[in-house]
């Protein structure tokens, strides 16, 4: 994990250094991550992504935490390969119970039509305890 995500720390340090040269070091608000994966993965693959999310949070505690940062599933909801949120309910519910400090922030209801099965993602997102839907 370290080499893959060290880039975040490098970017933060470079921004802080540049702002310091400008006398603005106190203005840096920070960088936060919404860990996401595509909604085409299998529930078993999702488990691996959830574990990676935890590892990332443990290594970089200040990057994935608190308000409006967390975990998301992204991708076309009405795409042929996309899976509805309900397919991921079991691993997501387990994750949410074990790690309530990493909120769910699901993209849901972002389709080109209405009245399709993808609409159920809105209900499922709420039932799974999402803190935010889509971009806000």
Phi, psi for 95 (deg, rounded to 5): -60, -45
DSSP 8-state secondary structure symbol assigned to residue 3:
H
User: Which listed residue (47, 59, 76, 110) is catalytic?
Assistant: 110
Helix 43-59 with 2-21: angle, nearest 10 deg:
40
Q: Are 55 and 1 in contact (CB under 8 A)?
A: yes
The per-residue b/e assignment along 1-30, b for 16 or more CB within 10 angstroms, e otherwise, is eeeebeebeeebeeeeeeeeeeeeeeeeee
Annotated active-site residue 18? The verdict is: no
Annotated active-site residue 49? The verdict is: no
**Which residues carry out catalysis?**
110, 135
């Amino acid at each position: 994990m370290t080499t893959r995500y060290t880039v975040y720390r490098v970017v933060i340090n470079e921004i802080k250094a540049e702002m310091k040269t400008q006398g603005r070091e106190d203005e840096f608000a920070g960088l936060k991550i919404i860990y996401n994966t595509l909604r085409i993965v299998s529930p078993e693959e999702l488990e691996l992504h959830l574990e990676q999310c935890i590892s990332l949070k443990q290594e970089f505690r200040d990057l994935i935490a608190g308000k409006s940062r967390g975990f998301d599933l992204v991708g076309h909801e009405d795409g042929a390969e996309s899976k509805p949120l309900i397919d991921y309910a079991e691993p997501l519910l387990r994750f949410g119970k074990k790690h309530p400090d990493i909120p769910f922030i699901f993209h849901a209801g972002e389709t080109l039509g209405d009245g399709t099965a993808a609409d159920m993602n809105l209900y499922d997102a709420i039932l799974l305890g999402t803190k935010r839907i889509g971009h806000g």
